[in-house]
Amino acid sequence: MNQLNNGFTLFLSLLVEAMPFLLLGVFFSSLLLFFVDERKLVEKMPKNPLLGALVGSMIGFLFPVCECGNVPVARRFLIQGVPTPVAIGFLLGAPTINPVVIWSTWTAFRDQPEIVVLRVVFSLAIATIIGYVFSFQKDLNPIVQPAIARYMKFNPPAPPETKRRGKPYQEQEAMVPNILQSGTYILGGKAGIPLRIDANFVPPTSNSTSNKPLADKLRLVVDNSIQEFRELGGIMVIGSAIAAAIQILAPRELILSLGAGPITSIVVMLILAVVVSICSTVDSFFALSFASTFSSGSLLAFLVFGPMIDIKGIGLMLSIFKPKTVFYLFALAAQLTFVFTLFLNLHVL
Amino acid sequence: MNNKNPKSKIRNLLLPWLDAIAITAWGVLMLRYWLTNKLNLLIHPNYIWFVVLTGISLIIIGFLKMQELWQRRRRDVTSNSPHISLFPPGWGSALLLTTAILGFIITPQVFASDKALQRGVTADLLGSTRVKPQAFRATVRPEERSLVDWVRTVNVYPEPDTYTGQKVKVQGFVIHPADLGKEYLFLARFVLTCCAADAYPVGLPVKLQDNQERYSADSWLEVEGQMVTENLAGKRQLTIAATSFKKIPQPENPYSY
């Protein structure tokens, strides 16, 4: 009984500490969805593949999205003709390389600052390398889902110099939310135009506040925040429950022997990273509960690999890429994480 | 979004309320922990303001949503189609609400000796690398150091003989690790860096005199005595030779930082 209560206390403490960061994360990402003009950003992307991958993985600083918000954005990047390395870099890097995630990691690992720094460095390196690798694939058709390929074939992105500056206000207004809105999309049958199937996103004309765009936007921000908060919050509850259960139920000898081995600890954490789809904004608290028993390298493996790919992420990525591509992304990211953190375990920490 | 199916119509009307209630419940729970001083048991005091702010924000968001739902209750426009998710609609909020309700029913508890033993207390616990020195005050008199101060100091200058004869007056709770002999007890405190999930025990062994009472695990004590070096579990170890014990109530905030 006492054990159970200890476990519950641990579970609650994870939730209470993580909830503020989650709220901040979803609020920021919702806010930026509605207030940042993605189009201008797209035009400024560098053409050099290596530089592009690097810049792409750092866009997270502008869009603090976690791994659930970044897939739709990455997809729209691709559709708009952003170079592949930029889109891939963004897909893998953005969930980690953003201010909210860095702050929450710092909160959790205040007494091990090296974890915070290395998390950023490793994520940046891996996202850039994989983005660069994908730059050698010039033809997107074999790697993306047919619907996206078809859309890009029939709607080639206009070259940047022909784009008109200073669009009429309404046009921009209508475009921005549609482009940046994270949420559920289906690629419509005819032209493959992404269709938002989210009824919350009611056009503002339907009620009396239509002439107050700011108030409307704010209401949409709140609605979007609620949606993301309940989804990610639900996943966070399950993740915290798993963390607490492992702490309490798993035999201490088993955990100690797994956690101390330089290789086994990393493998276990990589598997946990895939299984536990906890949001990157709060995953450092999950890792923290293993800090006393698992090697630092393995904690990093969880923190670096988790945001890139987990169960929930795979489903989302399949909406952009063919299964083969997702597998390559997955395998490359896992191997790079493994190599980096193993080096750390064996030679540094 | 005209749903012919009455079941899904009801669902579309009720689910947004579930969201709003779950969010409000979490806000109330957080503020309740704050007002009843239970937040100390869960998280580091540095983040209390953040949790309080979140609690208030969640309540505001919840009420805004409820107000909006109430105003348009007659219109069936609230169909919340599923977001990107692993869950069927409503599950996320249901989970959040369930946990919040559990949080209202079950009181978080202070970790005690069983947890400390599970986290691994051995006589050489002092070797713990996780206790890093923080701001040192050079002029601190030995008897003014807390238990955690002692452990931090010893981590910097590990030679136990350095401290021989220094006066000690510290508070903590009793643990009986298996590898300590009957004439010893281990006085410990939990240290929190971020939240209860990373609470880890630190402390010092205490040597009892023959005529002294053996205190049961988890009792809180104030121990006075002198520092000596003992050979414990095959290791030279800084130990408190106790001259007096005083039973104290568990402090309001049992954790150190």
What is the DSSP annotation of A2-19? HHHHHHHHHHHHHHHHHH
Between B176 and A73, the more confident residue is B176
- In a 13 Å sphere around the CA of B165, the CA atoms on its Cβ side amount to 1
- What number is the average pLDDT over the span A143-156? 75
User: Which CATH number among 3.30.420, 2.40.50, 1.20.1740, 1.10.287 corresponds to the domain B113-247?
Assistant: 2.40.50
pLDDT (0 to 100) of residue A335: 95
- Cβ of A199 and B114 within 8 Å? no
pLDDT (0 to 100) of residue A227: 84
B202 vs B130: CA distance, rounded Å: 10
Burial class (CB in 10 A: 0-12, 13-18, 19+), B240: buried
Nearest CA in chain A to B116: A6
Q: Which of A105-109, A312-316, B101-105 has the highest mean pLDDT?
A: B101-105
- What number is the average pLDDT over the span A233-258? 82
- Cβ of B42 and A12 within 8 Å? yes
B134 vs A110: CA distance, rounded Å: 12
B107 vs B91: CA distance, rounded Å: 25
Nearest CA in chain A to B49: A20
Q: Does the beta carbon of B121 lie under 8 angstroms from any beta carbon of chain A?
A: no
Q: What is the DSSP pairing of strand B200-207 with strand B235-247?
A: parallel
A163 vs A177: CA distance, rounded Å: 19
The residue ranges of every structural domain in chain B are: 6-105, 113-247
A146 vs A151: CA distance, rounded Å: 8
When CB atoms are compared, the residue of A5, A111, A292 closest to B132 is A111
Q: Does the beta carbon of B196 lie under 8 angstroms from any beta carbon of chain A?
A: yes
Residue B104's pLDDT band (cuts 50, 70, 90): very high
Which residues contact residue B146 at a Cβ distance below 8 angstroms, ignoring those fewer than 6 apart?
A: B170, B171, B256
A216 vs A204: CA distance, rounded Å: 7
Q: Does the beta carbon of B85 lie under 8 angstroms from any beta carbon of chain A?
A: yes
Yes or no: say if A236 and A26 are a contact pair by the CB < 8 Å rule: no
Nearest CA in chain A to B79: A199
Yes or no: say if A281 and A314 are a contact pair by the CB < 8 Å rule: no
- The overall average pLDDT reported for chain B is 81
Q: Does the beta carbon of B9 lie under 8 angstroms from any beta carbon of chain A?
A: no
Which tokens in the block code for residue A167?
């669009």
- Cβ of A312 and B86 within 8 Å? yes
Q: Which residues on A lie below 8 Å from B102 (Cβ)? A: 8
- Cβ of A184 and B51 within 8 Å? no
pLDDT over threshold 60, residue B231 = yes
- What number is the average pLDDT over the span A325-338? 92
Question: For A74-92, how does the pLDDT look when each residue is reduced to its tens digit (9 = 90+)?
Answer: 777 787 778 889 988 988 9
Which tokens in the block code for residue B202?
């630190």
- What number is the average pLDDT over the span B110-119? 78
Q: Which residues on A lie below 8 Å from B135 (Cβ)? A: none
Q: Does the beta carbon of A225 lie under 8 angstroms from any beta carbon of chain B?
A: yes
For helices A2-35 and A169-180, give the axis angle rounded to 10 degrees: 150
When CB atoms are compared, the residue of B54, B80, B130 closest to A23 is B54
Q: How many CB atoms lie within 10 A of CB B131?
A: 21
Amino acid at B204: L
- Cβ of B84 and A72 within 8 Å? yes
The residues in B 133-192 lying below 8 A from A, measured between CB atoms, are: none
When CB atoms are compared, the residue of A200, A230, A285 closest to B92 is A230
What percentage of residues in chain B have a pLDDT greater than 70?
81
The residue ranges of every structural domain in chain A are: 2-200+213-348
Task: Out of A15-24, A35-44, B2-11, pick the least confident.
Answer: B2-11
